[in-house]
Amino acid sequence: MAEYNQELVKALAHGDAKAHDQIKNLPLTVRMSLGMAVDEMRRNEKIVPMNSGFSIYEQKKVTPEEQDELGNALAEHNRLLREADEKREAIRQEFIEKEAKAKVERARAGLAMNDRR
């Protein structure tokens, strides 16, 4: 088997489209020989090509429908967060008002303030 540029073979083993375009115009026998070198490198170095669907680096194709569903789900999530914040703020305000009323009543009654708890 002939010796090939190891960087080219490695790029082909990883499924690089630019490397594939470089060898597209080579004679069939040379491409077959390169293919054998690529297969050997994949076996020896346990390389999974990027275009096989197993790579974590590949970005999945997203359809417009999926984007709409994602947008709706995010909008619903944001609405729920906003409602929870509003409820939390309302409870906080009620507590502050209740504490203020209790302090005013204690002051009117002439009782000492127990701020230290």
Query: Longest Cα pair distance anywhere in the chain, in angstroms?
Result: 103
What sign does the dihedral 10-15-19-23 (CA atoms) show? positive
Least-confidence region, from 16-20, 21-25, 49-53: 49-53
Q: Which CB contacts under 8 angstroms, 24+ apart, belong to 46-50?
A: 47/10, 47/13, 47/14, 49/13, 49/14, 49/15, 50/14, 50/15, 50/16
What is the per-residue pLDDT across 27-68, written as a single tens digit (0 to 9) for each?
888 888 888 888 888 888 887 766 554 444 445 677 888 889
- 3 state SS of 54: coil
What is the per-residue pLDDT across 67-87, written as a single tens digit (0 to 9) for each?
899 999 999 999 999 999 999
Quick one: pLDDT at residue 51?
A: 57
Quick one: pLDDT at residue 92?
A: 98
